[in-house]
Amino acid sequence: MVIASGRSNRHVGALADHLLRALKDSGHANIKVEGLQSADWVLIDAGDVIVHLFRPEVRSFYDLEKMWGGAPETAA
């Protein structure tokens, strides 16, 4: 699971679009996407990897990292 933030709805949408294009170009099929229209929280299900892209306020509200308490954080 990957959790990342964009600075605004437009930024989150652009990140999601870029990632979707890269996944498709590398041969991944059947990618499922939720939330792209509002771009507050975009969920990309690429099979073995799930990507959550958030606006900072939405990421703070849902606090998914809390559910995975023991997982180490890495800097991008």
Kindly report, residue by residue over 21-66, the tens digit of the pLDDT: 999 999 998 999 999 999 999 999 998 999 999 999 999 999 988 8
Per-residue pLDDT at 66? 83
> What pTM was estimated for this model as a whole?
0.84
Across the beta sheet with 41-45, what order do the strands follow?
Answer: 2-5, 50-54, 41-45, 32-34
**10: domain CATH number?**
3.30.460.10
* Count of structural domains within the chain: 1
- Please check whether residue 24 lies inside any domain of the structure: yes
Contact between 55 and 13 under an 8 Å Cβ cutoff? The reply is: no
Task: Give the pair of three-digit tokens for residue 26.
Answer: 């590398």
Residues 7-11: what's their mean pLDDT?
96
- Please check whether residue 72 lies inside any domain of the structure: no
Per-residue pLDDT at 73? 66
- Please check whether residue 47 lies inside any domain of the structure: yes
Domain that holds residue 57: 2-65
- Please check whether residue 27 lies inside any domain of the structure: yes
